[in-house]
Structure 1
């Protein structure tokens, strides 16, 4: 079976692409009027914006509720990348390296320049509900460390997804040149092919728009699991394991009684994965989306792992809590006045989940 991307001969039509561009502009206006939280309600319309930062000893990953965050892990993966060459191929993420070598990525190479700052969309990978984007950014002037914040906002066929999360990391090659990788996880089912709209904002209110047709890779194997657990009021259902040459992902839903996201533990679930020989499969975590349903908080996520070898026949998966140990936040009102928000997650108590095994189809 052919593993590389097939040309999108019929999708999308050029007239559709112009409509998508208009949708991106409209979506930008919607995004600017969202509440953005890393531990809070799903994004809702309003003039007040809140941004939390949460840290964890077990995993240096921010928990995202319908938003994106700057990822030190992704930034680290870009270290020592040469300016000339593939951003994915030169990263230290095994899945991206393999995808680039085997022709599973889509090379874009589109550059847009605004006020002397050139942003090149280098390549894109779309696998199991996960979209990874590589950027090369060059400027005529020196840029600040977090000039592009948490990366680009995005649309699917011109529409904002109902639930998404992700991370963004940069490696500063020089004061005027940097590379970046953005990871987007969408919790809802996505079409196999669609028009991806990207809206990247600069520190000085510059805006770069991209609109690109993308297609999901083939040879994705899905293993139904339906493993359930209820521990100390935390309900967990692991629904599926997805396998491809770019990596492994674990899909799950968790919930807990309550209305305070910062006091909930159901959004702090991670997984350890080892094969039948005891070899650990490296986790790259993954964002999480959450929403409030009456008096219950419900979370969904797809956790990402390195690809496994063909000789792996069984995986043992252990859920655990990666509880935050610090953080806090800043609230912006309609006048862009700020108010510090204290961290209130230090009272959360750990729990232990039982491991479960998954047979890998051969």
Structure 2
């Protein structure tokens, strides 16, 4: 299938009768994000990205619009039910940049850089009805000095003419070394609806920088394997706002001859029973057609009373496009936290 056919693929037409809910979710997210952010990777020969899809406003507890003066204040409160962002407000930087173009105002509210991921909260005010959610354009956040980036976006409607959004960007730097400070630019260029034909081209442009939040990096370098897969958990970084696991894997030619793509998803729990990830992937890349793969996965902070973190990788070997898959479970990796 050509890239054009891939980007124009009708997700709902996929034949998925014999796949699990995890694979349905993964394929749909992969197709949606490839179409929605087709320039998300730059200057990387072969990239494989597993991204979280855009969701609607259901389930969030919204603060009163009367408190938003003059436009929007504390966007992150709209995502307060997500444990990933529970420390965002406390440790993020107030950006406060606003641009208006063609009747649409975009405000970047706050942002934080945890040493691996950059999270940005923003709001959009418009005189047009984009429906329940919108696409923030093909032009992704650009991180100066990076050779590529992956990430996810979530934009939800909160009133007739207002939307709130949050994006997480995972840049890749040469040698895998993350700087203490990142310079970020964002020029959305086009905002479009995901449910109707509304689209607005604009001249929004943002530039800002962030200092790295200090974290505790613990080198793990523990490997679990099968005959065809070697998975190594390289490190776990604990910061005030997030937990980041870094990993790499190697896959045999035999397995890749049978399956188009082999990428990991994770279930992460602690010894107290808290669930941090449940069959969730991350972002990463391969420079050799999937034979080796490096990536990161992040989630919220770990409960203060937990003494162990249990990371269980599940490899998804897939033919892609809903044509079939198999799940290969690997042994869990247990990390002592105290």
Alignment TM-score, normalising by the size of structure 2:
0.74
Q: Which residue, 64, 75, 82 being the options, matches 1:87?
A: 75
Residue 216 of structure 1 corresponds to which residue in structure 2?
212
Which structure 2 residue ranges, 5 or more long, are not aligned? 34-46, 191-198
Residue 352 of structure 1 corresponds to which residue in structure 2?
329
CA offsets, 1:280-310, max 9 Å, x none?
33459454233342x6533222112221122
Residue 99 of structure 2 corresponds to which residue in structure 1?
112
Written as runs of structure 1 = structure 2, the 5 A alignment for 1:145-224 is: 147-149=134-136, 152-157=139-144, 159=145, 161-188=146-173, 189-202=177-190, 203-218=199-214, 220-224=215-219
Paired residues of 2:136 and 2:188 also in contact (CA < 8 A) = no
Q: Which residue, 107, 124, 137 being the options, matches 1:137?
A: 124
Q: Which residue, 207, 219, 233 being the options, matches 1:238?
A: 233
How many positions carry a matched residue from both structures? 292
| Distance verdict in 2 for CA 1:99–1:154, change over 3 Å | closer
Once the two structures are TM-superposed, the CA of residue 96 in structure 1 deviates from its matched residue by: 1.9
Q: Which residue, 87, 92, 107 being the options, matches 1:98?
A: 87
Aligned residues: CA RMSD: 3.4
Q: d(CA) in 2 for partners of 1:182 and 1:282?
A: 18
1:182 aligned counterpart, secondary structure: strand
| Distance verdict in 2 for CA 1:297–1:262, change over 3 Å | same
Paired residues of 2:101 and 2:202 also in contact (CA < 8 A) = yes
Paired residues of 1:248 and 1:304 also in contact (CA < 8 A) = yes
Q: d(CA) in 2 for partners of 1:69 and 1:316?
A: 22
Once the two structures are TM-superposed, the CA of residue 49 in structure 1 deviates from its matched residue by: 8.4
Once the two structures are TM-superposed, the CA of residue 99 in structure 1 deviates from its matched residue by: 2.6
| Distance verdict in 2 for CA 1:197–1:318, change over 3 Å | same
Paired residues of 1:150 and 1:168 also in contact (CA < 8 A) = no
Q: Which residue, 313, 320, 328 being the options, matches 1:319?
A: 313
| Distance verdict in 2 for CA 1:350–1:211, change over 3 Å | same
| Distance verdict in 2 for CA 1:287–1:78, change over 3 Å | farther
Matched, 1:228 2:223: yes
| Distance verdict in 2 for CA 1:184–1:75, change over 3 Å | farther
Paired residues of 1:90 and 1:97 also in contact (CA < 8 A) = no
Q: d(CA) in 2 for partners of 1:284 and 1:231?
A: 19
Alignment TM-score, normalising by the size of structure 1:
0.69
Which structure 1 residue ranges, 5 or more long, are not aligned? 1-35, 38-47, 329-342
Once the two structures are TM-superposed, the CA of residue 249 in structure 1 deviates from its matched residue by: 1.7
Task: State which drifts further: 186-195 or 55-64.
Answer: 55-64
Once the two structures are TM-superposed, the CA of residue 247 in structure 1 deviates from its matched residue by: 2.2
| Distance verdict in 2 for CA 1:164–1:204, change over 3 Å | same
Paired residues of 1:261 and 1:297 also in contact (CA < 8 A) = no
Residue 195 of structure 2 corresponds to which residue in structure 1?
none
2:291 aligned counterpart, secondary structure: strand
